[in-house]
Amino acid sequence: MSIHITLTVISLLVTKCISEGTTPDQVHISFTGDMTEMAVVWNTFSEVSQDVTYGKTGSGATSTAKGSSEAWVFGGITRYRHKAIMTGLEYSTEYDYTIASRKFSFKTLSNDPQSYKVCVFGDLGYWHGNSTESIIKHGLAGDFDFIVHLGDIAYDLHTNNGQVGDSYLNVFEPLISKVPYMVIAGNHEDDYQNFTNYQKRFSVPDNGHNDNQFYSFDLGPVHWVGVSTETYGYYYEYGMDPVMTQYDWLKRDLTTANSNRAAHPWIFTFQHRPFYCSNVNSAECQSFENRLVRTGWLDMPGLEPLFLQTSVDFGFWGHEHSYERFYPVADRAYWNDPNAYINPKAPVYLISGSAGCHTPDALFTDKPWPWSAARNNDYGWSIVTVANRTHIRVEQISIDKNEQTVDDFWVIKDEGHMHSGEMRRANPGAKFPLQKCHFKDVACKRSLKEINEEL
Q: What is the pLDDT of residues 176-230, one digit of tens each?
A: 999 999 999 999 999 999 999 999 999 999 999 999 999 999 999 999 999 999 9
Average pLDDT over residues 62-75: 97
List, for residues 77-97, the tens digit of each pLDDT value.
999 999 999 999 999 999 999
pLDDT of residue 2: 52
The C-alpha atoms of residue 350 and residue 327 are separated, in whole angstroms, by 9
- pLDDT of 7 above 90: no
- Cα(270)–Cα(285) distance, rounded to whole angstroms? 17
Mean pLDDT of 395-415: 98
Please state, for a pLDDT cut of 70, what percent of the chain lies above it: 87
Range name among 20-24, 104-108, 125-129, 381-385 with the lowest pLDDT average:
20-24
pLDDT of residue 336: 94
Q: Which has the closest alpha carbon to 356: 31, 131, 40?
A: 131
How would residue 346 be classed by pLDDT, with cut points 50, 70 and 90? very high
Contacts of 364 (CB under 8 A, 6+ apart): 278, 279, 280, 322, 324, 375, 377
Output the pLDDT for position 291. 84
- Angle at alpha carbon of residue 277, lines to 188 and 227, rounded to 5°: 50
Residues 301-340 pLDDT 10s: 999 999 999 999 999 999 999 999 999 999 888 999 999 9
pLDDT of residue 286: 74
What's the Cα-to-Cα distance from 171 to each of 27, 132, 154, rounded to whole Å?
Answer: 10, 9, 10
**Residue-level pLDDT at 100:** 96
Mean pLDDT (the chain, rounded): 90
With residue 196 as reference, give the H or E element that holds it. helix 196-201
Position 9 confidence tier, pLDDT thresholds 50, 70, 90? very low
User: What CA–CA distance (Å, rounded) separates 243 from 334?
Assistant: 28
pLDDT at 367: 83
Question: For the residues 1-18, what does the mean pLDDT come to?
Answer: 48
Question: In the prediction, which pLDDT does 420 show?
Answer: 79
Residue 116: which pLDDT band, with cuts at 50, 70 and 90? very high
Kindly indicate the confidence band of residue 16, based on its pLDDT and cuts at 50, 70 and 90: very low
User: pLDDT band at 1, cuts 50/70/90?
Assistant: very low
CB–CB of 38/106 below 8 Å? yes
For residue 44, what are the CA distances in angstroms to 20, 50, 71, 216?
9, 10, 9, 28
pLDDT in tens, 241-252: 999 999 999 999
Residues 378-397, mean pLDDT to the nearest whole number? 98
Q: Which domains does the chain have, with CATH numbers?
A: 3-24+109-454 (3.60.21.10)
DSSP codes joined into one string, 293-339: HHHEETTEE-SHHHHHHTT--EEEE-SSSSEEEE-SEETTEE--STT
